[in-house]
Amino acid sequence: MSKRALITGITGQDGSYLAEHLLGQGYQVWGLIRGQANPRKSRVSRLVSDLSFVNGDLMDQASLVSAVDTVQPDEVYNLGAISFVPMSWQQAELVTEVNGMGVLRMLEAIRMVSGLNGSRTADGGQIRFYQASSSEMFGKVAETPQCETTIFRPRSPYGVAKIYGHFITRNYRESFGMYAVSGMLFNHESPRRGAEFVTRKISLAVARIKLGYQDKLSLGNLDAVRDWGFAGDYVRAMHLMLQQDEPGDYVIGTGQMHSVRDAVRIAFEHVGLDWEDYVSIDPSLVRPAEVEILCADADRARAKLGWEPGVDFPELMRMMVDSDLQQVSHEREYGDLLAGIW
């Protein structure tokens, strides 16, 4: 029989790539959604005929118990979260409820459905759980690059909430013998990234400027440095983590650092433009507490999982620009068509 996987956040960037990957591996894939009117369901529209959906909400314990009991999954991937870090200063309580307590609620749902009522060692038949941890937990970094043993010094409510999710996952592994792991994924992008994230904001603006629909691009800290990879590569690591004999936590990243300025330069050069003619700095876009440098030491993942990234950063930015050039062109054609009709 094929394995069953339940994915929270299936309509997000990572969820859509993971669903594709698991379907390719022969899984039955279920997505947890809050009602049928999810505005991002279009992200997985081309997969809908191969997917199943179950209602549930990371802020509602009973709904999660019902979802896990209905699906009876072999693997649960908890990717559901409020993932835009700047929002966590404006809505710290909500971000903590979803990104922190939501993890606990899902772990509790698995524990209850699995009948884990006291301390016990893991057995081969239990539900395996993946938690989406984050490089933002490292924050004001204690060392560079960052690995599994680097201490956490978060610089945002988002990072603090993710640390709770990370440690409660480890606690359930140690307390109940649950096969529960966390992937400390560094920044990963794609053409499916939300337009509020800086890489997609850049690629979309470059496309619109090149096609004559936008004049300028406003950004915050051009000197912020990140370890950026391709989301499609990173979901492979998530799956590999749940295939190991023993559960453990892993850092996932490329080990290569690039600045926001690098991203801007690569994107504009790809369409033959000089970025300095179009980019302005808006101080209001700078974070209250910036994370200056993030860089992954993914040696453990390479050694134990056999994982390697396949797409480098310049290729990623060019991929995103090409996708947005196509999208903006289609939107313009569609707008012209509607104008002609009306």
Point out the residues that are catalytic. 134, 136, 158
Structure tokens at 305: 């999982």
Quote the tokens at residue 13: 């960037």
* Cα distance between the two ends of the chain: 53
